[in-house]
Structure 1
Amino acid sequence: MKNILVAIDLDGNEQKLLDKAYEFGIAFNAKVWLIHIAAPNPDFVGFEAGPQYIRDERATELREEHQQLQAYADALYNKGIEADGLLVQGATLDMILEESKKLNIDLIIIGHTEHNFIYKAIYGSVSLETVKQADIPVLTVPID
């Protein structure tokens, strides 16, 4: 195992995922790729991007998310793990699977939070769909 992909939401619950990334990275001397999938730009999904201040706010938000990912990667690096942070825009499941192939990932680590029926009906479960569709091992970590 040489490459591990860790999908991070940046919602404040990522420490368990980072701890698992460290455990597996050390155990297998593997590179850890921390990935955050940001929502696509509005024009990507057929809407106008809006006034300049909206675009500026979005750019600031993406820059802050990338800096947070890089801070997590730097912390892993300081503990002896080769790590990089990736900020990608698009559909979450598609991007996880696509980046896994591009980076020759051997293991995906993803968090799982239990949601109510209505949430599941509307949004589904990225962790469950990743397990179903990935052709490599997926470690799901309970985040509750």
Structure 2
Amino acid sequence: MDKIKNILVAVDLYGGSEEVAGVAAGFAEAFSAKLYFLHVERGYPEIMGDPDVPDERDVVASEVRASHRELQEFRDKMTPPGVEAVALQIQGRTVQKIISEARALDIDLMVVGFHRDGLHHLLADDVIKRVLNHAPCPVVVVPPPTR
């Protein structure tokens, strides 16, 4: 494998990403690599129905902006000094977007997290399996912290 220059860490803003980001940050620091924090929003369907509901679109836009600010704050908190880092928030299907961004950004290493609890665990497990099957680069899977 060539030198690791670009690392992508998949971030879930709903909790549990600190361990994953910490591992990715450690790799970025060790390899002097650029670190991409990627959060994929599932997307919001078009508002259908009454045209007198423009406030709904404003609410969605406000939520997207707030989520991006949260991602930027998370990036700032988790990035070691001297490491270049970028916060990316995109909308779409999680696995497809992770893979397409990894290819577009010429990612050399991906870091993803595994969750253990409830329905989120089942969904995350499926996402990780599909990322592993389609990844254009090595993938590090970080287990949840032991309790």
TM-score normalised by structure 2 residue count: 0.83
What is the alpha-carbon root mean square deviation over aligned residues?
2.3
User: Matches of 1:93 and 1:77 in 2, distance apart?
Assistant: 24
Query: Could you say which residue in structure 2 is the equivalent of 1:73?
Result: 75
Instruction: Work out the number of aligned pairs and report it.
Output: 139
- Conserved 8 A contact 1:42-1:49: no
User: Matches of 2:124 and 2:79 in 1, distance apart?
Assistant: 34
User: Matches of 2:39 and 2:49 in 1, distance apart?
Assistant: 22
Deviations 1:77-109 (A, max 9, x none): 562210010010000000000000110000111
Q: Structure 1 segments of 4 or more deviating over 4 A?
A: none
Query: Could you say which residue in structure 1 is the equivalent of 2:129?
Result: 128
Query: Could you say which residue in structure 1 is the equivalent of 2:26?
Result: 23
Query: Could you say which residue in structure 2 is the equivalent of 1:138?
Result: 139
Partner AA of 1:99 in structure 2: E
- Conserved 8 A contact 2:13-2:39: yes
- Conserved 8 A contact 2:114-2:124: no
User: Matches of 1:52 and 1:109 in 2, distance apart?
Assistant: 39
Partner AA of 1:53 in structure 2: D
Q: 2:94 aligns with which of 48, 67, 92?
A: 92
Q: 2:7 aligns with which of 4, 7, 12?
A: 4
Partner AA of 1:30 in structure 2: A
SS at match of 1:104: coil
Deviations 1:46-91 (A, max 9, x none): x628722221121111111111111122234562210010010000
Note closer, same or farther for the CA distance 1:49–1:91 as it changes in structure 2 (3 Å cut). farther
TM-score normalised by structure 1 residue count: 0.85
- Percent of matched pairs sharing the same residue: 33
Query: Could you say which residue in structure 2 is the equivalent of 1:36?
Result: 39
SS at match of 2:43: coil
Which shows bigger deviation, 11-20 or 98-107?
Answer: 11-20
